[in-house]
């Protein structure tokens, strides 16, 4: 009888030390992409708005090609010019070689023409490479989504100048969602990376089990809390910014 009472008391003690930490949290994307332009130019079209869900490869915005069109025209003129000079020089070189065989011109003159012909041939090759380089720039005038994501910010409008290095659109990757929560410094010692937690997204009535993936060792001096990130099995209906609840069972 005494032994049974002791076991019952032990169970009561264990239950009394069991605790569930409830945290209000938010769904976030752990991979935000800042989309910018490689070349400067006027924005011709913007095909998305904030909040839009975009698929990989979908057109986000396009830049006017006037500047690159001008560069290509100059490059093509360069090719034509050097090709004409090369053909003229080559004809003279061939003619002077025949005259050299008859002793009518010096070997030095032939060598100079030969050198000039080779130089112009090289310039033709360089000019054609320049045209190809300009053609490759056209692909950077149409900016597309690198992956399935949601547009969380749009900083551009049609007619504005796209500036290299300045974020035009910010995308939030939907394939890498996490739960972000704040835990008090008093409860911090009760958890560790790898712990399983219960995740609830009330708006979807969605329940799942998550795993603490990281504990950010930097306290918020105003609230004395630490940020934790939780990985979980997501669904197509879950988006960044959704409210979530996290329940952590500790002893």
Task: Give phi and psi for 83, each to the nearest 5.
Answer: -65, -40
CATH 3.30.1580 fits 66-138, yes or no: no
Domain residue ranges in the chain: 19-31+174-250, 66-138
Note the pLDDT of residue 133: 92
Q: What is the pLDDT of residues 153-193, one digit of tens each?
A: 999 999 999 988 889 999 988 888 899 999 998 888 888 99
| Band of pLDDT at residue 207, cut at 50, 70 and 90 | very high
- Equal fold, 19-31+174-250 vs 66-138: no
Q: Which of 21, 31, 19 lies closest to 149, judged by CA?
A: 31
Mean pLDDT, the chain, as a whole number? Answer: 88
Note the pLDDT of residue 174: 82
Task: Give phi and psi for 224, each to the nearest 5.
Answer: 55, 45
pTM, two decimal places: 0.64
The CATH code that applies to domain 19-31+174-250 is: 2.40.30.170
Given the DSSP bridges, would you call strands 53-54 and 149-154 parallel, antiparallel or unpaired?
Answer: antiparallel
Q: How far is CA 88 from CA 61, 81, 91, 120, in A?
A: 46, 11, 5, 10
């Amino acid at each position: 009888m005494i032994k049974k009472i002791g076991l019952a008391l032990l169970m009561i003690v264990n239950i009394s030390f069991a605790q569930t930490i409830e945290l209000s949290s938010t769904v976030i994307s752990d991979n935000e992409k800042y989309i910018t332009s490689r070349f400067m130019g006027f924005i011709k079209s913007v095909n998305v708005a904030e909040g839009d869900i975009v698929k990989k490869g979908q057109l986000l915005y396009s830049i006017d090609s006037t500047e690159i069109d001008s560069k290509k025209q100059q490059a093509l003129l360069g090719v034509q010019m050097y090709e004409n000079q090369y053909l003229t020089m080559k004809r003279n070189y061939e003619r002077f070689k025949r005259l050299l065989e008859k002793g009518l011109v010096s070997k030095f003159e032939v060598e100079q023409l030969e050198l000039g012909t080779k130089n112009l041939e090289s310039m033709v090759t360089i000019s054609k490479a320049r045209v190809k380089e300009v053609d490759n720039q056209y692909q950077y005038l149409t900016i597309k989504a690198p992956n399935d994501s949601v547009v969380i910010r749009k900083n551009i409008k049609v007619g504005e100048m796209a500036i290299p290095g300045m974020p035009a659109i910010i995308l939030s990757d939907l394939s890498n969602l996490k739960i972000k929560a704040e835990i008090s410094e008093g409860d911090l010692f009760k958890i560790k990376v790898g712990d399983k937690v219960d995740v609830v997204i009330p708006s979807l009535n969605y329940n799942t089990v998550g795993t603490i993936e990281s504990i950010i060792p930097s306290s918020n001096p105003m609230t004395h809390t630490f940020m934790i990130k939780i990985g979980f099995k997501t669904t197509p209906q879950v988006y960044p910014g959704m409210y979530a609840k996290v329940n952590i069972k500790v002893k």
